[in-house]
Structure 1
Amino acid sequence: MTGELEPAEGSAGEGTTRGLRASDLDRDQVVEILQVAAGDGRITAAELDERLDAALSARTFDDLASLTADLPSEGMPPRARDLVRIDQRFGDVTRTGRWLVPRRMEIRLTFGEAKLDFTDAMITHNTLHIDVDLRIGGNLILVTRPGIEVDTDQLERGSGDVKIRPASGPDTPVTLRVQLTGRSRGGDIIARPPRRRFSEWLRPPAPRGIGR
Structure 2
Amino acid sequence: MTDDAAPDLRASDTDRERVADILRDALAEGRLDMEEFGERLDATYRARTYGELAPITRDLPSAGVSAPAVSLTKEPVPSDDWAGRIVGGDDDGRSSWAVAVMSGFQRKGHWTAPRRFNCFAFWGGGDIDLREANFADREIVINAVAIMGGVDITVPPGVEVVVRGIGIMGGFDHREEGVPAEPGAPRVVVTGFAFWGGVGVQRKLPRAEKQRLREERRRQKLERKANRRELGASSDATSWDGGLGGLHGTPAEERPERRDGRGGHGGHGGYGH
Q: TM-score, normalised by structure 1?
A: 0.51
Q: Which has the higher strand share?
A: 1
Aligned to 1:203, what secondary structure does the other structure show? helix
- Percent of residue pairs bearing the same amino acid type: 20
User: Could you tell me how far 1:139 is from its partner in structure 2?
Assistant: 0.9
User: Could you tell me how far 1:142 is from its partner in structure 2?
Assistant: 1.1
Q: Hey, what does 1:200 align to over in structure 2? A: 214
Q: Hey, what does 1:132 align to over in structure 2? A: 144
Aligned to 1:170, what secondary structure does the other structure show? coil
Change (3 A) 1:108 1:170: same
User: Could you tell me how far 1:81 is from its partner in structure 2?
Assistant: 1.3
Give the alignment partner of residue 177 of structure 1, picking from 187, 196, 200: 187
| Correspondences of 1:107-118 after superposition (within 5 Å) | 107-118=119-130
Cα RMSD for the two superposed structures: 3.5
Tell me if the contact between 1:167 and 1:192 (Cα under 8 Å) persists in the aligned partners: no
Q: Hey, what does 2:201 align to over in structure 1? A: 191
Change (3 A) 1:133 1:171: closer
Structure (1 or 2) with the larger CA radius of gyration = 2
- Total equivalences in the alignment: 131
Flag the structure with more relative contact order, 1 or 2, with Cα contacts below 8 A and sequence separation at least 6.
1
Q: TM-score, normalised by structure 2?
A: 0.41
**For structure 1, which runs of at least 5 residues remain unmatched after alignment?**
1-31, 36-76, 207-212
Q: Hey, what does 1:157 align to over in structure 2? A: 167
User: Could you tell me how far 1:203 is from its partner in structure 2?
Assistant: 1.6
**For structure 2, which runs of at least 5 residues remain unmatched after alignment?**
1-82, 221-273
Moved more, 118-127 or 190-199: 190-199
Task: Determine if the alignment matches structure 1 residue 148 to structure 2 residue 159.
Answer: yes
The amino acid of 2:151's aligned partner reads L
Change (3 A) 1:192 1:205: farther
Q: Hey, what does 1:123 align to over in structure 2? A: 135
Task: Determine if the alignment matches structure 1 residue 106 to structure 2 residue 118.
Answer: yes
Q: Which has the higher helix share?
A: 2
The amino acid of 2:192's aligned partner reads G
Tell me if the contact between 2:138 and 2:186 (Cα under 8 Å) persists in the aligned partners: yes
Tell me if the contact between 1:92 and 1:112 (Cα under 8 Å) persists in the aligned partners: yes
Change (3 A) 1:78 1:182: closer
